Amino acid sequence: MSEKKIRPEDDGRDFANAAWSIPSYLLSGMILYGGAGWLLSKWTGVVAFTPIGLILGVALSVYLVYRKYGR
């Protein structure tokens, strides 16, 4: 009656966690930095801060995904 231990790599949950967390990182980066850019645009009147915030948010999110899952 020996029970076989299930390793985390073998049960498929790591892939499911990554499949949910990668889009979450990307969306949250766009929302957070895009929202900050939008607020800065409203405050200063310069409309260029919104797309800059969105691009910065996506770039930082991609970097975080690479650091967490790419290595």
Say if residue 52's pLDDT is above 80.
yes
DSSP string, the chain: -PPPPPPTTTSSHHHHHHHHHHHHHHHHHHHHHHHHHHHHHHHH--TTHHHHHHHHHHHHHHHHHIIIII-
Contacts of 61 by beta carbon, 8 Å cutoff, 6+ apart = 25, 26, 28, 29, 30
Q: Write down the pTM of the prediction.
A: 0.72
Instruction: For residue range 58-71, list pLDDT tens digits in order.
Output: 999 999 999 988 87
What pLDDT was estimated at residue 6? Answer: 59
Instruction: For residue range 3-49, list pLDDT tens digits in order.
Output: 666 565 556 667 777 778 889 999 999 999 999 999 999 999 999 99
